[in-house]
Structure 1
Amino acid sequence: MILLESLPLSGVVSIYYDLNGTPYIYIDSYTKKDGTVVKGYYRSLPDKNKLNNWSSKGNINPFTGTKGYE
């Protein structure tokens, strides 16, 4: 991944792009109201584009290996 820009958004540290230009974001660790700690993670950019959404059928999350299901 290549860091091309950093945005001061709540819970989002940076936007990354892979070599194909697909955007990804990193979500910082946070604590839920019930005290559960959620570790930081990468996710596809929430842009409603099914072609670059890791949860879409036919796609695979490159960080977890999980297959898309939607």
Structure 2
Amino acid sequence: MAKCDQCGNDYDKAFQITQAGRTWTFDSFECAIHKLAPSCAHCKMRIIGHGLEDADGRMFCCDHCAEESGVTTLRDRV
């Protein structure tokens, strides 16, 4: 079995995610999200979708949070 890097649960169906050359082991997608997903710079919610990024690299979960933080332009990552 493998131990989850987020909660410590030892689980026989654990999986691994590799990001930027580093590998983590998780027992659930919930733990993976809590460990790896960025947080909104305004409301601190975990960003599960694409989110929005301003020119300074701050991430936001939605346009409302970006506007509430005074962001007037967003960075196009296409």
TM range (shorter): under 0.3
TM-score by length of 1: 0.28
Higher helix share: 2
The normalised TM-score by structure 2 is 0.26
Decide which structure has greater strand share.
Answer: 1
